[in-house]
Amino acid sequence: MSEKKPDFGVEPPINEPIDILGWWIEDLHYGYRQMLKIDKLLYDSKTDTQRLMVFENETFGRVLTLDNILQTTERDEFMYHEMLAHVPILAHGAVHSVLIIGGGDGGMLKQVVKHKAIARIVQVEIDPEVIEFSKKYLPMLSDGAFDDPRFELVISDGAKYAAESEDRFDVIIVDSTDPVGPGKALFTEEFYRNVSRLLADGGVIVTQNGIPFTQADEVVNTMAEFSKLFVDYTCYTSTVPGYAGGQMCYGWGTNDPSLREVPLEVLERRYAAEQLQTQYYTPEVHIASFALPKYIKDLFQSPEDRALR
Ligand code: SAM
């Protein structure tokens, strides 16, 4: 037990993605890997920012990986994108503008454009090649959303945009990679402080916050920062098979605590009014997703409090 755990916040996992038998291997945590068979390799190349791969797998369909970390898959993407998009938008109820940071595959944008009342959608993506390449190899993810007239694309580091922009948004969705490589900048105190400035009054920010069973530090750090910035902060969850290790956590921060108290009937009315077609999201799931197991709730305590347990 004297062996040291790897610090995934510092170095990317060490394995090469394709082994000799044609399996893609992802190092999830110390002594814990997942393997997906590469039925057909469609793309494998290094952009200026990161390594990009797409392959086909019998169970997951097309699979996108960046720097050898699974980003999204054709068959389970809805479980992630619907929950990160529809929960804040329907909780808010009067969203005019949305900012997406990251999300180059277009899966988040596809969900956001379903809301006809939204007038403006800005997406800040660091790597233009992810977008171009996803349009070509994963067109089902964006499903034409990049052509929506309300959509504005900014190619930039989301951390830089957050520091410099004067825009305001009702909903901000951070659809980032894990805190490795370019994604690291989207988990810092500075980024959270800057991006919280971009929220309009009554706005809400949601973030990709990893799998708490294996990536507890992500929840611990984000919640510690959110506690300094927002009146109401928490996580909510969904389960996404490709993100192995249990429930996936989404950070939630707002200065309007009533957004988390919206009654079921109101959510049902908003959902029906938008005529949303969803496969995972329902108003009941929305409310239930905020009920956290104790091991996740315990991560909200300060490091000192946790040491005392
Ligand atoms: N759902 C995914 C997950 O859980 O890992 C995230 C998918 S999405 C493909 C992540 C996107 O974030 C990528 O397109 C990547 O290029 C982008 N990204 C990473 N770091 C960024 C940064 N600092 N600013 C803007 N976009 C960034």
Domain 77-308: what homologous superfamily? Answer: Vaccinia Virus protein VP39 (3.40.50.150)
Choice from 47, 111, 126 to test ligand 1 binding pocket (greatest atom count within 8 A of CB): 126
CA distances from 67 to 32, 37, 62, 188 (A): 18, 17, 17, 20
- Catalytic: which of 67, 157, 175, 178? 175
pLDDT for the residue numbered 309: 46
Percent helix, strand and coil across the chain, each to the nearest 5: 35, 30, 35
Asked if 67 contacts 25 with a C-beta cutoff of 8 angstroms, the reply is: no
Sheet of 247-254: strands edge to edge?
Answer: 151-155, 120-125, 97-102, 169-175, 199-208, 247-254, 232-239
Q: Is 8 helix (H, G, I), strand (E, B) or coil?
A: coil
CA–CA gap between residue 44 and residue 128 (Å, rounded): 16
Written as one letter, the residue type at 290 is F
DSSP 226: H
Domain ranges of the chain: 1-74, 77-308
Show the CA angle centred on residue 6, arms to residues 4 and 8, nearest 5°.
155
> Quick check: CB of 252 below 6 Å from ligand 1?
no
Q: Is 159 in the pocket of ligand 1 (CB under 6 A)?
A: yes
Residue of 34, 176, 240 best suited for mutating to test ligand 1, as the one with most atoms within 8 Å of CB: 176
Give me the pLDDT at residue 46, please. 87
Q: Give the span between the Cα atoms of 246 and 174, in whole angstroms.
A: 21
Max distance between CA atoms of the chain, in angstroms, equals 57
pLDDT for res 1: 33
Helix segments in 143-242, DSSP class H: 158-164, 189-197, 216-229
Using left for φ > 0, alpha for ψ between -120 and 50, and beta otherwise, residue 224 falls in alpha
pTM value?
0.92
Check if 73 has its Cβ closer than 6 Å to any atom of ligand 1: no
Q: Does the active-site annotation cover 170? A: no
For the CA of 161, the closest atom of ligand 1 is 24
Averages of pLDDT over runs of 10 residues in the chain (309 residues) are: 39 48 87 92 87 94 93 97 98 98 97 97 95 94 98 98 98 94 94 98 98 94 96 97 96 98 98 96 98 95 58
Contact 38 CB / ligand 1 (< 6 Å): no
For residue 241 the two structure tokens come to 């098979």
The pair of structure tokens assigned to 285 is 């799931």
Ligand 1 geometric centre to CA of 184 (Å): 10
Task: Give the CATH number of domain 1-74.
Answer: 2.30.140.10
Does residue 102 have its Cβ closer than 6 Å to ligand 1? yes
The two tokens of residue 287 are 């409310």
Assess contact for 292 and 248: CB atoms under 8 A.
no
Contact between residue 104 and residue 136 where contact means Cβ atoms under 8 Å apart:
no
End-to-end CA distance of the chain: 21
- For 241-267, the DSSP string reads TTS-SSEEEEEEEES-GGGG---HHHH
Strand partners, 163: none
Rounded distance between C-alpha atoms, residue 42 and residue 63, angstroms: 10
Contacts of 132 (CB under 8 A, 6+ apart): none
Inter-axis angle of helices 216-229 and 189-197, to 10 degrees? 40
